Structure 1
């Protein structure tokens, strides 16, 4: 083998190794059930089943989790607290929007 062919063979081997290393081995989520054919979401670096959990403040929490908002309790997966006015609104609504029938006013 000529020196030129050796250099090309070594370069080809290095390129192949770099390609294999850059993709890495597939990794399944740890500490979860296998979610084949089921919908799943991601919260930070964790996967979760949206039928049982939601992502709240970068943490996976059960759908029934509640928090206080003034004198009210709100469901963190479905509602949000507007703390400066102590109003609970449906999640995704702007706290500055006009009050709607779904809003709950909670005293401080």
Structure 2
């Protein structure tokens, strides 16, 4: 004989799952903080939201973070400083690749 508590628990699970699945398409959350199914990335041992931060030099930084490269400023989440040539290139481009129209030539501050 099956205990009455188990039967009630199974019925409750079935009712809740039917209720959740009966509304058709999933509802998009109105708050950016309700991203339960959004992929999060790791930076070291911490998770971060790639829509607000990036991992730079082992630290989680806001997408707006900038640093200097000679007399230029570059966005650390999107660009890199090629210090030996004093050129700012997009992330993913090698410092040894040919210059493109997206590159920013910089000059030494000395």
Q: TM-score range by the shorter chain?
A: 0.5 to 0.7
User: Could you say which residue in structure 1 is the equivalent of 2:17?
Assistant: none
Distance 1:34 1:58 in 2: 26
Q: Considering only aligned residues, what root-mean-square deviation do their CA atoms show, in Å?
A: 1.3
Gaps of 5+ in 1: 1-32
TM-score by length of 1: 0.67
Q: Does 1:54 align with 2:54?
A: yes
Gaps of 5+ in 2: 1-32
Distance 2:53 2:34 in 1: 16
**SS of residue paired to 1:84:** coil
User: Could you say which residue in structure 2 is the equivalent of 1:66?
Assistant: 66
Distance 2:48 2:35 in 1: 9
Q: Does 1:83 align with 2:66?
A: no
User: Could you say which residue in structure 2 is the equivalent of 1:38?
Assistant: 38
Offset of residue 107 of structure 1: 0.4
**SS of residue paired to 1:55:** strand
**SS of residue paired to 1:80:** strand
Matched length: 76
Distance 1:86 1:75 in 2: 15
* Superposed structure 1 runs of 4+ greater than 2 Å apart: none
**SS of residue paired to 1:101:** coil
Q: Does 1:100 align with 2:100?
A: yes
